Structure 1
Amino acid sequence: MSDRLLVLAVDIDNDLFQKTGINGPVVGREKVLDAAAKLTLADPLDSDGNTLFEAVKKYDELKEKDYEVYVAEITGAVTENFLADEEISRQIDQLMNELKVDACVLVTDGASDNRVLPILKTRLKVNSVDYVRIKQAEGFENTYFTIMEKLKEPHYARIVFGIPAILILLFSISYYFHLGIAFPFVLIGLYLIIKGIGADTILIDSFTSLGMSIKRISFIFYIASILFAISSLIVGYSSYISSITSGNSVPVSYAYSIEGILLLFPISIVLYIIGRIIDLNNLHMYYRVINQGVYIGYSVITLSLVYVFSAWIIGQIYFSQLIGYAILAFIIGYAVTELTFSFKRHVVKGLKLKNKVVINELGTYIGKVYNINIRKSKMSVKTDYNLTLTFDIDRIVGISDRVIIR
């Protein structure tokens, strides 16, 4: 057989390291078999152990058919987010450099590992995908047992227990402080908006990727940001109570509350961004520092619109003034954003990006930089299949040894 095949098992949440201390990639029949045995002994209920045994079985079958075949397992990260995809990408590149294979057979235990397929297909031909399904006896006991095992995993536990707990807490607070049923629904709506636009991921990744360490000066800014955020909520609540006591309607009282929150909340945002800039600068992520200008622009637009809308509800400004202030906020926010993008293009012009590897935020390999056209604000990327793709320079979110685009 002419093709050099790789039987590849995937453990995207890195159970192998968590339960056995074995780091990926694991290469070779004996090492994979040993890893499978240790993982199964550590947790007989984990399907990743069965996936490894299936990979070894598939390897033996192909070996008997005279294929030149290798077997390996790659691992991701516990969080199953960008970090997992980036680690998967790194390990695939490592295997390709070591083994020089032409195609692979992917062995996976479920849908969560399917996210590796787009990353894998940009680097290597995938001949087939082998899904491992564990046989279970039918019945309520086995269903119950499976559910209970899943609930031990943090991802599912947060959904099943966390969301109902937050809802109960919100309604309890609303009842105790006589805020009405609208208050928890407003908070839930705000959370869904934040979740929908991905702002929660940005905040979580900001703290997890850079870390809040007491040894860094940025820690002071983060703590101050949190304190100002809490203080803004207290001021907002006090404004709401004062308004209700004065006999104002609930919508007007909410408007007063928002105005109270916005007295200190912008300071919280500024302190947070300063902390981010310090951390990014210490990590030599100078290009990402520029992105903070975009966030400032968005913050100016959002907070200004919320403030003037609240002022209009209260009756502090006329509707015509609301429209005028809204237009002004858009102009200022747009100007800050455009200045940031212009500066980013200027920085790109001074960097030697040609032939640098280009990946997206999920870690998927795209190709190498072929050409930069600053005048048109375009970057040309050539794939391994000699296709030329064109991206707007503004899509670049990070530059190090690789160029990362969104």
Structure 2
Amino acid sequence: MAASNKKRILVIAVDRDNDLFEKAKVAGPVIGRKANLDAAMKLAVADPEESDSNTMFEAIKMYDEVSAEGEAEIVTLTGDRRLGYAADKQIGEQLYRVLSEFQVERCIIVTDGASDEQVLPIIQSRLKIESVKTVVVKQAAQLERTYFVILEKLKEPYYRSLFFGLPALILIMFAISGWMGYGWQPVSFVVGLYLIIKMLDVDESLISMYRNFFSFSVERISLIIYIAAFIFIVMSFWLAREVYIQQVLLGGDPLKIAAAALKGLLLLLPWGIMVLIAGKAIDLMHERRRYELARYGMYLISIVLCWVVLNVASDWILARASFKDLVYTVIVSVLAAILSIEGMRYARKQIAAGMNLENKEVLDTIGNYVGKTIGVDRRRGVMIVQTQFGHKIDIEIDNIRKIGERVTIKT
């Protein structure tokens, strides 16, 4: 974008659930008045009841008013139909692309409700927000009833899967568990675990971790490794189940039965996890993401140490090892873990110091803009970042998640 085309204020319409693409097949970001008008008309034709088209029309109206007083630009940012982290990350990346083309100082946000307004911190981390406009669509009185709102929400994939998909999955699990003779306990365990994960609000983090760890592709040798790891893990649980059933039939102390089952589990489970880590390491080397290798090396060491401690603990319960052996193993494992952590930290610092980190954009894991890198202080183990307000902050290298065209740090 030429220097003469620099813009001073940005009018932003937000479509967090990406209805613009899902219904009108228009991908974001949508930049410019004409492009936004065309996209809004396509969305209104595709779904006349969709409120996001009204949001875009309001943004165009706001743009016309602002541009009459000075230089301005309009853009519609779209998220993801799954909402949550996926939507926020997509909006953050689109905003980054827009700001790389237009030098703006201020912005006006136009949304259609509380869901879209959840992205305000992401935008506020990079621009000064002058105004937030919430579009309320006027409706007839009979359409304002609760059942109409619920029916409209159930048309959206996220809410449809929540209200219909989850109960359906639970019913299917009950049926399968009944056919296999396990009763209701396994299903209750899975549902309870899911509710705890939702209560702790870590479901999006777990999904993101899963997607970052597994990047399946038939063109990669790691796919074969992941399949082998899956076989190891499944077989380990099968072995543990067989040992448990055998020990129950023989009778005895429940604690010793549990220890024997744990020994059966540990025969193959650690190998399966280590094979998974090896597959991920191959992917990282192929993608030249050397910095992240140290973290997975730490995972590998942790798996080995846990394996050793749990094995000795099981042997002690089964009277195959003395308490002295258990204490000695725990002490050595803790010391080894401390040394490994320090060694991995040193390796990460050396790798980061050897990389070109100057003048890179720094974002957190949900897309908030932090600033630009100035350099790395190897002695203190920190990366020096300059914020958009000119302040310098130190970020510990341990908090760096990824290093590529941009640097991603832990939130």
User: TM-score per shorter chain, which class?
Assistant: 0.7 to 0.9
Identify if the C-alpha distance between structure 1 residues 218 and 327 changes in structure 2 by more than 3 Å, giving closer, same or farther: same
Whether the 8 Å contact between 1:293 and 1:336 is mirrored in structure 2 is no
| RMSD of aligned alpha carbons | 3.2
Whether the 8 Å contact between 1:296 and 1:336 is mirrored in structure 2 is no
Which residue number corresponds to residue 271 of structure 1? 275
Which residue number corresponds to residue 354 of structure 1? 358
- For structure 1, the residue ranges without an aligned partner over 5 or more in a row are none
* 1:116-131 matched pairs, under 5 angstroms: 116-131=119-134
Identify if the C-alpha distance between structure 1 residues 298 and 232 changes in structure 2 by more than 3 Å, giving closer, same or farther: same
Which residue number corresponds to residue 71 of structure 1? 74
Which stretch has the larger CA shift, 160-169 or 19-28? 160-169
Identify if the C-alpha distance between structure 1 residues 140 and 118 changes in structure 2 by more than 3 Å, giving closer, same or farther: closer
Which stretch has the larger CA shift, 155-164 or 41-50? 155-164
Specify the code of the residue in structure 1 equivalent to 2:222: S
Identify if the C-alpha distance between structure 1 residues 314 and 169 changes in structure 2 by more than 3 Å, giving closer, same or farther: farther
Which residue number corresponds to residue 334 of structure 1? 338
Which residue number corresponds to residue 29 of structure 1? 33
* 1:6-405 matched pairs, under 5 angstroms: 6-63=10-67, 66-80=69-83, 84-135=87-138, 142-161=145-164, 163-164=166-167, 198-207=205-214, 210=215, 212-248=216-252, 250-304=254-308, 306-311=310-315, 314=318, 316-317=320-321, 321-405=325-409
Q: Deviations over 1:12-42 (max 9, x none)?
A: 3322223222222212223212111111222
Whether the 8 Å contact between 1:300 and 1:333 is mirrored in structure 2 is no
Identify if the C-alpha distance between structure 1 residues 74 and 200 changes in structure 2 by more than 3 Å, giving closer, same or farther: closer
Identify if the C-alpha distance between structure 1 residues 274 and 178 changes in structure 2 by more than 3 Å, giving closer, same or farther: same
Whether the 8 Å contact between 2:81 and 2:157 is mirrored in structure 1 is no
Which residue number corresponds to residue 5 of structure 1? 9
Identify if the C-alpha distance between structure 1 residues 374 and 193 changes in structure 2 by more than 3 Å, giving closer, same or farther: farther
Secondary structure in 1 aligned to 2:26?
coil
Q: Deviations over 1:191-227 (max 9, x none)?
A: 67777564453123323xx3x1222211101111111
Q: What TM-score results when the alignment is normalised by the length of structure 2? A: 0.84
Q: Deviations over 1:39-86 (max 9, x none)?
A: 12223343322221221232344456x354332212234444655444
Distance 1:295 1:232 in 2: 19
Which stretch has the larger CA shift, 259-268 or 320-329? 320-329
Q: Deviations over 1:384-406 (max 9, x none)?
A: 21111111111112111222211
Deviation at 1:107, TM superposition (A): 0.9
Secondary structure in 1 aligned to 2:394?
strand
- For structure 2, the residue ranges without an aligned partner over 5 or more in a row are 1-6
Distance 1:190 1:301 in 2: 26
Distance 2:182 2:256 in 1: 13
Distance 2:169 2:358 in 1: 49
Whether the 8 Å contact between 1:397 and 1:404 is mirrored in structure 2 is yes
Q: Deviations over 1:266-311 (max 9, x none)?
A: 1111111121112222222222223211222343455555555555
Whether the 8 Å contact between 2:81 and 2:158 is mirrored in structure 1 is no
Identify if the C-alpha distance between structure 1 residues 353 and 44 changes in structure 2 by more than 3 Å, giving closer, same or farther: same
Specify the code of the residue in structure 2 equivalent to 1:57: K
Distance 1:290 1:170 in 2: 39
Which residue number corresponds to residue 4 of structure 2? none
Deviation at 1:375, TM superposition (A): 1.3
Distance 2:122 2:24 in 1: 26
Deviation at 1:363, TM superposition (A): 1.9
Whether the 8 Å contact between 2:92 and 2:366 is mirrored in structure 1 is no
Whether the 8 Å contact between 1:291 and 1:397 is mirrored in structure 2 is no
Distance 2:99 2:298 in 1: 38
Deviation at 1:189, TM superposition (A): 6.4
Specify the code of the residue in structure 2 equivalent to 1:202: M
Deviation at 1:8, TM superposition (A): 0.6
Q: Deviations over 1:244-277 (max 9, x none)?
A: 1112355543443333222111111111112111
Distance 2:48 2:343 in 1: 57
Specify the code of the residue in structure 2 equivalent to 1:363: G
Q: What TM-score results when the alignment is normalised by the length of structure 1? A: 0.84
Aligned residues: 400
Distance 1:277 1:158 in 2: 34
Deviation at 1:166, TM superposition (A): 5.6
Whether the 8 Å contact between 1:8 and 1:71 is mirrored in structure 2 is yes
Distance 2:43 2:285 in 1: 41
Q: Deviations over 1:64-119 (max 9, x none)?
A: 6x354332212234444655444433432343344433311101223333343222
Q: Deviations over 1:116-135 (max 9, x none)?
A: 32222232110111122344
